[in-house]
Amino acid sequence: MRNLKFLIIEGNTAEVRETVKTHFKHDPGVDFGHTLQKLAPNSEFDVCYGADLNHKTPTYKEIRGYDGAVIGGSALNAPKGEPESERQITIAREIYRAGIPFYGSCWGLQMATLAAGGKVASAKGGREVGQAHAVRRLKSDHPLLAGKRDVYYAIAVHSDEVSAIPPDADLLAENDHTPVQALEIRHEEGVFWGVQYHPEYSLNHLSGILRRIGDQLIGEGFFRGEADLDSYATDLATLYQDPSRRDLAWRYGISRDVINDDFRTRELSNWIEHAVRPAAH
């Protein structure tokens, strides 16, 4: 059995990636790759920097050489129509055309939606950050959500959302904040599975992200000031290091769905086992 090979489209600009490195020592595209390697041991990955306008994008033939393609998160905003966004929509179209298994988290869901003819807009309810609360499964038999509870929680950080799904798509999950939390899209030769939240993010990732965008969060009223934000971010990192800290989980209402790595990453492992491996073999 040969090793799987993934193509990861990293959606952040070089400036944002440098900021992320201060918290995680490497860029988010590489970090996503490491998460996939934990779920698919001995797998390999390449990172394409989709927001770098001078960075080479993979050709159709090159994309066909991968077992699966992933688009993760980004600090960009698709409704603004920036060149860095449009470039990634073009890459998503090529992935569909290549017909390999396609997955996206958050920004990745939005790019795949736009590439297939759907729409993305600023979230009507404002930013969803921390946990996506009470996400409801709408297709109990879909393999992307196999093993998830009928109502579950997930780590989320987004201010845009899918406002209209593409023509040939199935809505898989929703919650009261965000009408599209999980989606399957069939477009051209490809099938995309994606979610608006972040199965690849741990509480430690979330802690770092909150610190990185802290000024915005304070301005939007999520925290009363830097001390408030620092206390919360520190406690999240502590809970990540010691999941037995029931006091912290209770204080902040943190679900086992995001504390337990197996629950948290289930969508990714399901995509690998139900979409990637069957196509590769």
Each residue of 208-229: pLDDT tens digit?
999 999 999 999 999 999 999 9
Using pLDDT thresholds of 50, 70 and 90, give the confidence band for residue 1. Answer: low
182 and 233, same domain (yes or no): no
233 and 112 in a common domain: no
Same domain, 51 and 78: yes
Total number of domains in the chain: 2
User: Does residue 188 sit in the same domain as residue 216?
Assistant: no
Q: What is the pTM of this model?
A: 0.95
Check: CB of residue 70 under 8 Å from CB of residue 76.
no
Are residue 73 and residue 133 in the same domain, yes or no? Answer: yes
- Can you give the residue range of the structural domain that contains 215? 203-257
Residues belonging to the active site: 106, 198, 200
β-partners of residue 68 are 6
Res 273 pLDDT > 70: yes
Decide if 78 contacts 108 (C-beta within 8 A).
Answer: no
Q: How high does pLDDT run on average in the chain?
A: 95
CA angle 125, 200, 78 (to 5 degrees): 45
User: Domain check: are 215 and 194 in the same one?
Assistant: no
Kindly compute the dihedral angle of the four CA atoms of residues 31, 157, 6, 85, in this order, to the nearest 10 degrees: -110
- Averaged pLDDT, 150-155: 98
Residue 11 has pLDDT above 90, yes or no: yes
